[in-house]
Each structure stands twice: as structure tokens, then as C-alpha cells.
Chains A and B, each alone.
Chain A
Amino acid sequence: MSESGDHVREAILSPEEISAGVADLARQIAYRCAGDEVAFVGIYTRGVTLARRVAEALKAQGLRYPVGTLDISLYRDDFDNRGADLPTLESSDIPFGLDGIRVILFDEVIFTGRTIRAALDGLMDYGRPAKIELAVLVDRGHREIPIQPDYVSTHIGTTRDQYVKVRFREDDGGEEGVFLETPRKVPAA
């Protein structure tokens, strides 16, 4: 456990546990998708990394699933509330047809479900998949809309004001782990 100015940070998954989680997702997907035409679509930024890692794990089993990327900024429902944090757009890249295939969306954490709602809208502008499913590394609860993941590696009980931060070495300057951040209570005067 480490402490910084405004929150307490606690490691909840080690790099080894993340690797085990990726292997676990790969196993679930291989089992349930046997024989289907499957493609992965990762949500920027860390959903893309998760999708690539799971695809890599499946390659070892002879399963080759293409990985596309999706930026959902233009589909969010909170555009009016953007403040100083202006979204820098990424290029969505889905270099395969989605019509009639089984698509698995990837995000590192599912929380309110609103990101996935936006991703579904975005995805369907690229085609009409036969089926869309959702895979996440961590489900932390607190859904605000009725969207549930199909493949989950880890469930974590959290309070609404906590943050779950996933760090992947590809995206976060070498740092790897999943952390729970709890805002520090304002001390009584």
C-alpha cells in the first residue's frame, strides 16, 4: 500500500496475476467460440492492449483472431460536460468486415457501462455482426445501464468513489499492475 497526497493506493493484481487473467480470458473464449468466425475489437487505450494480449495467447493454441481498435470519444454521452480535458482522438482501425461474424469487445475495466454503450454504437457503424460480446479484465460493479460482460477475469468489490487503475507496460511506461485508489478523507479541522 502506498500513499500520496489525495488518495491511498493499493495493489490488487500483480503482473503475474494479470498474465493469469489474460490466460483465463483466452481459455474462456477458446472454449465458447470454438468453430466460430471471431474478431476482437479493443477500446482505446488499454482495451486494445488487453485484446492484443489475449489474441497472442490464443495464437499459441493455433487460433488466429484479428484485432481492431475503436475510439469511442465521438460516441460518448457526456460531450457537453467536457472541461479542460479535451479528448485527443485516436484512429479507429477495423480492417475486417464485421457483417455476420462474432465480435468480442475488450475493455480493461467495466464500471458504469457507459463506455460500452458508446462502443456498441460505434461498432455498429462499421457493420452488423452476428453477435457482440464483451470481455474485461476487471468488473468493479456500479453499473448505471443494463450492460454486463460475457467474459470476466476478476471481480473486485469497490465503493463508488474509488478508482480502479489498470497499468499495462505497453501503455504506461513499463508499469504493470492493477491498483485500487481510495480518496483520502478530508481531515477534520
Chain B
Amino acid sequence: MSELKPRKDLLDIEGLELPEIEYVLSNAVPFKQLFQRSVKKVPTLRGKTVLNLFYEPSTRTSSSFEVAANRMSADVTNFTVSSSSVVKGESLLDTIETLQAMRSDYIVIRHQAAGVPNIVAKHTGASVINAGDGYHAHPTQALLDAMTFREVYPDYQGRKMVIVGDVLHSRVARSTSTLFHKLGIEVGVLGPGTLIPSGRHEFIRRFRSWDEVFDWKPDAVYLLRVQLERQEGMFFPSIAEYHKMYGMNTERLVRMRQIGAYLMHPGPVNRGVEITDEAMRYERSLISTQVENGIAVRMAVLHWLKPETDTD
């Protein structure tokens, strides 16, 4: 038993205390072991409902939450809202009212605007899980990244990870680097100058080249997805240029092998942009493990949060 105060929502990493992080990460391990059984399901959330509310397309994250909820025996409803039909402001509150009437116990929400999950959380008794809001946060991604890193490095403290890519547009980079920092893992970043945020996250080491990265000998290299859909402003000259400067190619793979670094990526990958076909077959790639751990971590999060919904 651990004495943690009950928490209703998971909105970001910044607000989490270390014992809470440890609690979720350690519970995720027995959840993952259930996947080895022929019956992969437990009855814990029988009769509870999980609403997947996605204002941005995402097959992976919503499926991962759906599988996690199913394995806890909850009922899942997928509610995908096309962004074009959303009129801001009032319509969000209208949606919340609808959700209240549906009496969901858990709401998993992804939205293109930062802060929307916080607003929903304030207006509902359901537990709200942020599945990505704007450039702000993606806490369950950070938790699954930490679980994956700790599996390969049980002695994770003092180890080093470098995040490569579009850090400016990445809620993954933000949540994951914050969590890794909290856990005592050193974080560095490499990316186009225009895509590295300035002034924020002083604890992060910045690199200007792959040579500097490999000299630092990171234990893992985390490639971010180039978010092609968010490149209207053209922060770097071309995809080919990006690949040449920052992509994981044959030559960089050789150096990865020399230092024994693991490769991580939040998916979905853009082959030929941040990663090559060859790098996808790298023996120290943790990309599929991240997917599997995502389900376990999300089960642990559903198990941990306590909705304030009426049961009468």
C-alpha cells in the first residue's frame, strides 16, 4: 500500500510528484505481464465507461487507450470530432455538457489547443487523461518512454538521452524531457535551430551536430516524428535537407552501434525523413516495445486515477 493522495486527472507531467510517477511505473510492470497470459483481461473496471474524445486524428494513441481500457474490462466509446466542425469557445462547453449526460467515468482527450483537457477536467467529475494538447503535453507518452528506458536500464539514474528533431512542435519532447529530468536522466536535444525552443527547460543540453551528440555518448537516441502537417510555416528548407542533417541514416547507425545506444521513436515514423528503412531494423530499436509499454502504462493510469462521479 502506498499513501498517495487520490488524483482525479492526468493533465501534464509538471504537476506529478515523484512517488506518483514511481507508483504508476511500478504498477505498469504487472499489467504488462498480463499480456503473456492467454486471458489478457482483468475485471477491475467492469461496468465503468471510458470515452475517447479525439479532436485530432490519432490512430495509435486512441487504439492504445482503447486496448488498455478493454483489458481492464471497461466499456469504451470512441468520439472523434473533425476539427473543421469545431467552433471554438461555446461549442467546447456544449460538448462537455453532452459528456456529463453520458456519465463517462474516464475521458481521454486529445485536442489541437493547449489547455483544453484542463478545462474539461474542471467541468466534469470524470477522470480526464490528456492524450496530447497542442504543443503542451502528452503525459502518457512520457510515462511509457520512461518505462521503456528503465526496462533496458534498471540503473537509469545519471544515464543520458538525446532527443532529435522538431522539439518546438513537440509535446512529446516537452513531457518526456520533463519526466526524464525528474527521474534523474540527463536530456539533450539536437534539431534545426529554428525548432529548438529558447529560454525554456534550462536543464536541457543543446547540441549543434551529430558529432557532438556521439561525443556525449548518449544511452538512447529519441527521434521525434517530423510533423509534416504542421510545417506550413516551413521552419527548415526541405524534407531532404532535414533527412541529411538530422535523420538516422547508415553512417549514424554505425556510430549508434559503437556506443551501444538504444533507438526510440514515438511513432508513427516517416521513413526517409527522420529514419531510414535500415534504421527501422536496428537491433537496439525500442520502437515496438514502446507500443507495448504504452498499453501497460495506460492501464496503470486508468487504475490509478479516481473519478469523482456519482454512483447513485
Task: Give me the interface of A with B, judged by CB distance under 8 Å.
Answer: 71, 74-75, 79-80, 82-92, 121-122, 125-126
Return chain B residues, CB-CB under 8 Å to A75: 42-44
3 closest A-B pairs by CB: A125-B39, A74-B42, A89-B30
Smallest CB gap from B311: residue in A: A80
**B200 beta carbon closer than 8 Å to chain A:** no
**B135 beta carbon closer than 8 Å to chain A:** no
Smallest CB gap from A88: residue in B: B2
Known A-B contacts A84-B5, A87-B1, A88-B1; A71 and B30 likewise in contact (beta carbons under 8 Å)? yes
CA A121 to CA B27, docked complex, whole Å: 20
CB distance from B225 to the nearest CB of A (A): 32
CB distance from B18 to the nearest CB of A (A): 15
Label chain A's interface by main secondary structure: loop
Instruction: Mark contacts of B87-116 with chain A using CB atoms, 8 A cut-off: 1 yes-contact digit, 0 otherwise.
Output: 000000000000000000000000000000
Task: Give me the interface of B with A, judged by CB distance under 8 Å.
Answer: 1-6, 23, 26-27, 29-31, 33, 37, 39, 41-45, 303-304, 306, 311
Pair A84/B3 contact, Cβ less than 8 Å: yes
Pair A86/B30 contact, Cβ less than 8 Å: no
Known A-B contacts A84-B6, A86-B2; A121 and B30 likewise in contact (beta carbons under 8 Å)? no
Contact of A91 among B23, B29, B37 (CB under 8 A): B29
Contact of B43 among A82, A86, A91, A121 (CB under 8 A): A121
CB distance from A1 to the nearest CB of B (A): 27
Pair B39/A86 contact, Cβ less than 8 Å: no
Smallest CB gap from A85: residue in B: B1
Return chain B residues, CB-CB under 8 Å to A87: 1
Smallest CB gap from B309: residue in A: A80
Pair B30/A92 contact, Cβ less than 8 Å: yes
